Chains A and B, each alone.
Chain A
Amino acid sequence: MSTNFDRRRINGPEESSSPVFVDDDEDETKWRPGKPRQSRQPQDIRPIFLQLGLISQANGSAYIETERTKIACAVYYRYGPRQSKSTGYSERGRLSVQVKFAPFSCHKRRAPIRDAEDRSIAVLIHQSLVPSIRLELFPKSTIDVFLTIIENDGIDSCVATGTVAASTALADAGIEMLGLVMSCAATLMGEEIWLDPNHEEATAGASTLVLACMPALNVVTNVWQNGTMSTKEGRECMTACQERCATMHSIVAQSLVSNFTPE
């Protein structure tokens, strides 16, 4: 149930609720916890579709799709003072990351109000990106990164995929960086490590870990772990993620090069 009256939007009824489905469990083809992974090996990631420069109004942009995770990202770079009065003079540039879920992106409709989840994703992506950007070259300015999640297939997937999209869009905008940031999620499924889990897998797993790194410099920029895992398992997850990030890095770098047109 959600009450959502907003005078700035077209309003529906005061309250509405998601439909209750009765034949959920009848679908035999659906993956269930305990079964082996469908259509890919534990160490495989989903195929990535990446498109650059989709948003012509932005300085840089990327659209990324990994099966059912779909994210659009735009980078706006403004030199000079911004209208916001809260930000004072700063020698270094500021990076601002904002994440928005489209109302239709989740199983339950997301009323278009800001909630805690989009902020926490934004913070994680921000943490992953900040070490890569040469903010000292952008005094007094703000780099705005906006992400819209068009379809959500698990929070871990959103954080990892969103980070890749954002770093690619920053490169597309011509922002100077030390290296591209790639990110990959892993979940502990019994004894196995499953990389790049989707929503069902991530919820079924005992623990998830999202790693962001700059493969070109071989450094990690952010690790986010929740659930229970041993240090050894954590290290294994990190190594597995880092290997995948290296593969992704070469693909993303390749698409950036092929998309580059000298001014």
Chain B
Amino acid sequence: MAASSTPSEAIRAATFQRLHPKTYLERFLEENVRPDGRDFLEFRDCSINVGSISTADGSSLVRLGDTTVVCGVKAEIAEPDLDAPEDGFLVPNLDLSPLCSPKYKPGPPSDDAQVISSRLNEALILSDILSTKSLCIQPGKFAWVLYVDATCINYNGNVFDATLLAMVAALKNVRLPKATYHEETNHVTCSRKIREPLSLSEVPISSSFGVFDSLHLLADPTAFEEPLLETTVTVITDSKGRLLSTNQLGQYLSPQLDVLSKCITNAQSRTTEIMQQVLAI
């Protein structure tokens, strides 16, 4: 939109956007278009790259529009918990550093990062993406720990969807070294050359939406739209579009707008699209 206008008009529009964000968004939605030119239920283009980080055992870079998330998996070895001697560990975390947005300050993880990390962990466990039993090296003695660390490079909204996808892609990219347990010395050695992919059972795909002004349902909100939404909806499906989780949070005043059904239908068709990209990894 701004490209066609003169420089001074663009500056005026940017000032208006900052001072009256709500009105700014309203004006666009009245014209049935979003500030970035998308339709209400349109997701931004998504790209997935894997395996470019040689220091990680599996890695990915996901771009959802210009929201960018890098994810790397590091495999380490630990002793299993006493009450689960055959289970390894899957430890997902998201870092929202001050690099990605002026919203975040240096220091320990922000509230946002903690909440999103917790939701990511839930989604991965819920989908049963990886049986922790498959990470066992020697029961009761050694098991793999997969640290799935995601770092947000550019925060332009909907980081949850982008990060979950980045984590899934990085896990698909993992080639775990072959581990050998030596009983005499009670230690584990690994081979760099012989590596195997993880046996992933299901992958979770999430699609997020928001409701603005009780009227407009917007898919894949940007960082500008996010704080203006009174309701957020996240739908998580498995690779076949089967529902695993729906979460609608916040008040919406018009029950005639059946938000959840609409979101679910959209999420399922989006899963089909995304899965084509995931399968291509």
Contacts and interface: CB of A to CB of B under 8 A. Distances in A.
The reply to whether A and B meet directly (CB within 8 Å) is yes
Contacts of B56: 104
Interface in B53-86: 53-56, 59, 66, 68, 70, 72-81
Contact of B190 (A20, A54, A105, A107): A20
A217 interface: no
A10 to B, nearest CB: 5
B102 interface: yes
Contacts of A56: 66, 154, 156
Most buried by B among A58, A100, A104, A144: A104
B137 to A, nearest CB: 10
Nearest to B95: A112
Nearest to A147: B99
Most buried by B among A17, A56, A58, A106: A56
Interface in A201-234: none
A63 B70 CA distance: 13
Contacts of B55: 68, 104-107, 151-152
Main secondary structure on chain A at its contact with chain B? loop
A150 B60 CA distance: 11
A12 B7 contact: no
Contact of B53 (A10, A12, A58, A150): A150
A26 B193 contact: yes
B44 to A, nearest CB: 12
A21 interface: yes
B254 interface: no
Interface in A1-26: 6, 8-13, 15-24, 26
Given A102-B72, A104-B53, A148-B97, A19 B190 contact: yes
Most buried by B among A27, A63, A105, A262: A105
Contact of B81 (A13, A104, A262, A263): A13
Most buried by A among B99, B117, B147: B99
A234 B29 CA distance: 63
A144 B98 contact: yes
Contact of B77 (A17, A22, A58): A17
Contact of A13 (B89, B92, B114): B89
B109 interface: yes
B10 A263 contact: yes
Contacts of A258: none
Given A17-B77, A55-B100, A57-B156, A70 B53 contact: yes
A16 B73 contact: no
B223 A57 contact: yes
Interface string A102-122: 111111010010000000000
Given A102-B149, A152-B55, A24 B192 contact: yes
A109 B100 contact: no
B70 A102 contact: yes
B206 interface: no
A151 B71 CA distance: 12
B38 interface: no
The list of the 8 closest CB pairs from A to B, nearest first, reads A104-B72, A16-B78, A12-B91, A16-B76, A109-B74, A104-B56, A103-B149, A146-B99
Given A9-B117, A104-B73, 5 more contacts: A11-B91, A54-B154, A56-B156, A102-B149, A102-B151
Interface of A: 6, 8-13, 15-24, 26-27, 54-58, 63, 68, 70, 72-74, 76, 78, 83, 98, 100, 102-107, 109, 112, 144, 146-148, 150-152, 262-263
7 contacts: A13-B145, A22-B190, A55-B68, A56-B154, A70-B53, A76-B98, A146-B106
